[in-house]
Structure 1
Amino acid sequence: MRTETLAGRSPYRALSATVLAAATLALTACGGAEVAAPPQDPSAGASTQAGAAEAARIGAAGSGCELPVTFGLAESWQAEAVAPMAPDDPLAELARRGPLTMVCEIDAKPAGNIGFLRVWTGDGGQARASLEAFLGTEAREPAYTELRIGDRPAVEVTYQTKSALDDGMKPERAFAVQTARGIVAVSLDSADSEEHTEMLPAYELAKRTLTVTR
């Protein structure tokens, strides 16, 4: 994770940050608060090759986003619930991909990156089918992996999509797990390939620490 400030980035990244911030304000509920860090576990250290260390936990009541799962957040990442939107709201399509609806947005900007972890939920269905519909037709080279997350069968997909900064392609990924309340998916949405690489430990932390609670 880089320590440079957003102000030190190129004009293109500054523009990207502005656009992403504006979209976030339109999509998220007012009054979101940064997740409070839990008491420190003496066994928890700094980030290692296995991924980022857990600095807070999201998903429980009062954590910023109430979800059917909980998982760890990397240091300084800030979570905010996404307010439900009426179907005729012009912004509603931005918060829905296939059968999944965005319910939580976890911002990387306080940690020095441009992008988000986003949590999506949907009723019923299978994890892989939900991810396939989630990707739609714009994703390139999707590769699916069957695995277990939170002691539940799950599916992860890696794929390529067009960068918002240029005409090049950038990597993205998401995983989905089935709960008693339906499908929960977590996606890593970054501005470009470099940001994707730097944000990946936080995504891996969420996958590694996820627990299904409902």
Structure 2
Amino acid sequence: MQHMRQWVAGAVGAMVLAGSLTGCLFGTDGTDGTDGKDDKAGAPAAPKLGDKGTACELPVRFTLEKPWKAKEVDKAIQKQIGPLADQGPVTIVCELDAKPAGHIGFIRVLTGTKDTAAPGGTSRALMRAFVKDANFESRVKLREVKAGDLPATEASYYVTDVSAGEIRPVRALAVMTERGGVVLELGGMDAEEHKAMLPAFRLAKESMEKTGGKSG
């Protein structure tokens, strides 16, 4: 499943380029929501990804490292990719593409409703269910952390791509909100790319806040 989901990530990216996804940038100029000019003293802070009006409206918001680009994975795309849109009790709703930053990989954002996202209603339960549905997962390590000020569970593990004969590292973060569960997952083409993209994952984790936005 993990290998197929990585293929799906590339397929989703191709569909974006073809125009199948809309609203894929923070602003119409491809920036993070500013007009390209220097911020003036006292000006409101630029919106974080997850806020209303950004590429992906989410139950949480966080800072997206520049020049990564966010793309919504809407219900039409979810329907096209079928079961591959889901992992455990959550569904992919947003894809953060590292190619503009010179890396090959994505951070996926997956959400689920409050009633279904986590048996027991905890971030740890959500993460366990998420990892369990990975492809030949191994060396799984779970730890309780903070995502911004939010209680969260972080996982690091490896998945085996049998067809390619490769083992790849994965990092994931799970939080629970009043709107449901949210998982951020960082993969990468290989261990080197994964390591290069970790700063973007950490930035999202450290800057995370609740928004009250929509769930999956």
2:124 corresponding residue in structure 1: 128
> Which one of 182, 185, 188 corresponds to residue 187 of structure 1?
185
Q: CA deviation at 1:120?
A: 0.7
> Which one of 134, 144, 147 corresponds to residue 146 of structure 1?
144
Distance between the aligned counterparts of 1:25 and 1:82, measured in 2? 12
> Which one of 108, 111, 114 corresponds to residue 101 of structure 2?
111
Q: CA deviation at 1:101?
A: 0.5
Query: Which runs of no fewer than 5 residues in structure 1 stay unpaired?
Result: 1-16, 43-54
**Correspondence 1:198 to 2:193:** no
Tell me the SS of whatever aligns to 2:51.
Answer: coil
Kindly report which structure 2 residues correspond to 1:56-95, keeping only aligned pairs within 5 A, or say none: 57-85=48-76, 89=79, 91-95=81-85
1:45 corresponding residue in structure 2: none
> Which one of 5, 8, 11 corresponds to residue 22 of structure 1?
11
Distance between the aligned counterparts of 1:18 and 1:100, measured in 2? 18
Distance between the aligned counterparts of 2:39 and 2:170, measured in 1? 31
Q: CA deviation at 1:69?
A: 0.8
Q: Deviations over 1:34-90 (max 9, x none)?
A: 223256679xxxxxxxxxxxx973001111000111101111100011111598x46
Give the TM-score normalised by the residue count of structure 1. 0.76
Which has the larger displacement, 125-134 or 193-202?
125-134
Tell me the SS of whatever aligns to 1:57.
Answer: coil
The aligned amino acid for 1:174 is A
Task: Name the CA shift for 1:69/1:41 in 2 (closer, same or farther; >3 Å).
Answer: farther
RMSD: 2.9
Q: CA deviation at 1:30?
A: 1.8
Tell me the SS of whatever aligns to 2:198.
Answer: helix
Q: CA deviation at 1:22?
A: 2.5
- How many residues are paired up? 185
The aligned amino acid for 1:123 is T
Sequence identity of aligned pairs in percent? 38
Q: CA deviation at 1:128?
A: 1.4
Query: Which runs of no fewer than 5 residues in structure 2 stay unpaired?
Result: 1-5, 41-45
Task: Name the CA shift for 1:187/1:29 in 2 (closer, same or farther; >3 Å).
Answer: farther
Give the TM-score normalised by the residue count of structure 2. 0.75
2:32 corresponding residue in structure 1: 37
The aligned amino acid for 1:94 is L
Is the CA contact (8 Å cut-off) linking 2:8 and 2:84 kept in structure 1? no
Is the CA contact (8 Å cut-off) linking 2:177 and 2:210 kept in structure 1? yes
Task: Name the CA shift for 1:41/1:164 in 2 (closer, same or farther; >3 Å).
Answer: farther
